[in-house]
Structure formats: structure tokens, C-alpha cells
């Protein structure tokens, strides 16, 4: 602030700052945060930008996916129209930091609830129960159970633990293949270079539901782990209770089922029923 301004100007600026902070920072129910400059009706939501069917930023600048639909519904219940939402990319490694710094109001980004994360942030939900699974070619009848992955080329992304978990616990003779991204794994699967891709079934279904992959792949349905997706909020934020109420309403009015079918249906995804709020399946 310029110390040479008149007292009247200084008071006016201070009042404007207080008014802006009160209306924008507190209206959403989030913790007070001076680092984010909201418009009066804006709410900032973290999502994935690169997971088709989950959270995807398209070339024309729009956002699609199950998490986007869930987040849009929640924002509406919090008093924000779709045009009020400021979408922000929430990469897996950045999610806790984004919430702790107050860069976002909440995060919906295939965010599995676990004890380590819950030490740093709070979770509403869960709103989806996913499982580790495999995606295989639609005409492949050689992989009918997890142990059939022995001696098969199994792909996941570099740094992921999914494929290693299969090798360590289920199919020790699986041949691990690490690619830079799941889209590369799917290209390899399509071309016969690899035999299966593994990660959360919701993520696999999202990719397989894309038009270019129609009828080419199928999910194994193996349910090799439980992944309880939650909505991340700042520790101690009263948004947790409000979001839980919104999620319950989304299930009750049929919007949750509609979002699942729209985003995952083309892959034949056999989703679990909507989970109960606060119930974590181990």
C-alpha cells in the first residue's frame, strides 16, 4: 500500500478488501483464505485434466467426466451455477498441497481416501467405490481370472504401484510393461503389444468408453482392491458436512446413477451401488 495516499483513500481500500474477503472467501463455507481472489459467486474446484470419463479438459476448453459431473452437482447445492466454477488441475502429487494452501475449495479427482492423506486433509464421501482391475481386448478369452495374468504382458504407467501389486500378490510371472501414460498402454493393447492394462476400474472404463475404442476392450471384473473415492477439503472445513448432504441428495434423486451411466456405460462398467457416506470399504 502507498503510504502517501490520503487517509480517506486508505480507509476506502481497506473497506473494499474486507467486503470482498467476506463475500467471496466465506460465502462458500471454506476456510478464510487471502491467497485466492474469488469473484463474488466463484468456487474453485480441483479435478484431473487427463482422465477420460473421470476428469478431462477437452481441446475446446470444456470439462467432462464423472468427477466433473459430481463436482458440478455439489457446487450447485452450495449455491454456485456451473458458470461460477473455476476448474483447476489437481495432479495426484499436488492434491494435499492445493487444499492446504487454499488454492481450491474442494477436490474431486479420483482421490482415494486413506489414513495418510486423512492426516493432512478431510474427506467428504465416499462417492464411488472403485477397484483395481484389468482391461483386455474384447476378443481375448485367455484372461478369465487374475492368475491368468501369469506370463502375460501387463501394462501400467511409470511410477504406478498397480502392476507391481499384481506381480507381488497375484501373478508373479506377469511381465510388467511401464509406459508414460494410460493412452500409450491402450495403444499397445489395441495393437497386441501388451495383453492387459491395470489400474482402477473406473479409470479403465473411462478410457474404454471413448468413441475411438468402442467395442475393442472389456474389463476383467477382478476387483483386486477397494478404492474409496472421496471429495477432499481443507482440514476442519465445514464444507465436508455440506458436501456430504449434496452427495446424499445426488444419489437420492437419480443424478448419481445417470452420471455413472453417461461416463462409464459404454465400457460395460459394472459399478458398485453408491457408497454410504462415511463408510470406507477396506
- Shared domain for 100 and 140, answered yes or no, is no
- Shared domain for 183 and 156, answered yes or no, is yes
Cα distances (Å, whole numbers) of residue 80 to 30, 39, 53: 14, 12, 23
> Quick one: 178 exposed, middle or buried, by C-beta within 10 A (0-12, 13-18, 19+)?
middle
Tell me, yes or no, whether 214 lies in a domain.
yes
- Shared domain for 203 and 232, answered yes or no, is no
Question: Quick one: DSSP state of residue 265?
Answer: G
- Shared domain for 152 and 189, answered yes or no, is yes
Tell me, yes or no, whether 254 lies in a domain.
yes
Q: Give the count of domains, the chain.
A: 2
Cα distances (Å, whole numbers) of residue 164 to 174, 187, 277: 9, 21, 31
- Shared domain for 121 and 146, answered yes or no, is no
What is d(CA 278, CA 256) in angstroms, rounded to the nearest whole number? Answer: 17
Tell me, yes or no, whether 86 lies in a domain.
yes
- Shared domain for 169 and 246, answered yes or no, is no
Tell me, yes or no, whether 52 lies in a domain.
yes
Candidate from 7-16, 17-26, 156-165, 209-218 with smallest mean pLDDT? 17-26
- Shared domain for 212 and 102, answered yes or no, is no
**Confidence check: pLDDT of 141 > 70:** yes
Question: Quick one: DSSP state of residue 58?
Answer: -
pLDDT-based confidence at 10, cuts 50/70/90?
very low
What is d(CA 53, CA 210) in angstroms, rounded to the nearest whole number? Answer: 8
Tell me, yes or no, whether 273 lies in a domain.
no
Average pLDDT, the chain: 87
**Confidence check: pLDDT of 155 > 70:** yes
- Shared domain for 123 and 138, answered yes or no, is no
- Shared domain for 237 and 215, answered yes or no, is no
What is d(CA 112, CA 128) in angstroms, rounded to the nearest whole number? Answer: 9
Domain's final residue, options 186, 219, 252 = 219
Tell me, yes or no, whether 184 lies in a domain.
yes
- Whichever domain contains 79, its CATH number is 3.40.190.10
213 contacts: CB under 8 Å, gap ≥ 6: 186, 190, 207
pLDDT value of residue 23: 36
Cβ 107 vs Cβ 48: under 8 Å: no
Q: Which domain holds residue 109?
A: 41-130+228-267
Most confident of 26-30, 39-43, 248-252: 248-252
Cα distances (Å, whole numbers) of residue 269 to 90, 130, 139, 219: 25, 10, 17, 7
- Shared domain for 104 and 233, answered yes or no, is yes
Domain's final residue, options 191, 219, 247 = 219
237 contacts: CB under 8 Å, gap ≥ 6: 29, 30, 31, 122
pLDDT value of residue 173: 97
- Shared domain for 139 and 124, answered yes or no, is no
- Shared domain for 88 and 143, answered yes or no, is no
Candidate from 1-10, 157-166, 176-185 with smallest mean pLDDT? 1-10
Candidate from 9-18, 67-76, 95-104, 163-172 with smallest mean pLDDT? 9-18
Tell me, yes or no, whether 208 lies in a domain.
yes
Which pLDDT tens digit goes with each residue over 165-194?
899 999 999 999 999 888 899 999 999 999
Tell me, yes or no, whether 171 lies in a domain.
yes
pLDDT value of residue 38: 56
Nearest to 137 by CA among 64, 204, 60, 92: 204
pLDDT value of residue 268: 81
| Number of residues in the chain | 282
**Confidence check: pLDDT of 265 > 90:** no
Amino acid at each position: 500500500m502507498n503510504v502517501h495516499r490520503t487517509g480517506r483513500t486508505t480507509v476506502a481500500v481497506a473497506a473494499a478488501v474486507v467486503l470482498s474477503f467476506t463475500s467471496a472467501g466465506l460465502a462458500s463455507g471454506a476456510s478464510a483464505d487471502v491467497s485466492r481472489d474469488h469473484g463474488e459467486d466463484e468456487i474453485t474446484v480441483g479435478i484431473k485434466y487427463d482422465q477420460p470419463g473421470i476428469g478431462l479438459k477437452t481441446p475446446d476448453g470444456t470439462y467432462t467426466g464423472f468427477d466433473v459431473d459430481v463436482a458440478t452437482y455439489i457446487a450447485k447445492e452450495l449455491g454456485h451455477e456451473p458458470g461460477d466454477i473455476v476448474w483447476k488441475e489437481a495432479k495426484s502429487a499436488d492434491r494435499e498441497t492445493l487444499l492446504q494452501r487454499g488454492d481450491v475449495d474442494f477436490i474431486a479427482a479420483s482421490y482415494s481416501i486413506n489414513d495418510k492423506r486423512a492426516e493432512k486433509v478431510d474427506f467428504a464421501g465416499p462417492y464411488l467405490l472403485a477397484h483395481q482391475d484389468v482391461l483386455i481386448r474384447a476378443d481375448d478369452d485367455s484372461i478369465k481370472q487374475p492368475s491368468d495374468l501369469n506370463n502375460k504382458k501387463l501394462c501400467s504407467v511409470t511410477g504406478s504401484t498397480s502392476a507391481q501389486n499384481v506381480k507381488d500378490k497375484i501373478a508373479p510371472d506377469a511381465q510388467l510393461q511401464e509406459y508414460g501414460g494410460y493412452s500409450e498402454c491402450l495403444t499397445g493393447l489395441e495393437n497386441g503389444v501388451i495383453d492387459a492394462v491395470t489400474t482402477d476400474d473406473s479409470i479403465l472404463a473411462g478410457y474404454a468408453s471413448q468413441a475411438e475404442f468402442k467395442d475393442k476392450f472389456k474389463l476383467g471384473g477382478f476387483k483386486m482392491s477397494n478404492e474409496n473415492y472421496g471429495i477432499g477439503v481443507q482440514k476442519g472445513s465445514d464444507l465436508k458436512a455440506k458436501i456430504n448432504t449434496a452427495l446424499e441428495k445426488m444419489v437420492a434423486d437419480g443424478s448419481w446413477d445417470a452420471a455413472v451411466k453417461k461416463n462409464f456405460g459404454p465400457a460395460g462398467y459394472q459399478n458398485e451401488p453408491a457408497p454410504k457416506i462415511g463408510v470406507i470399504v477396506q
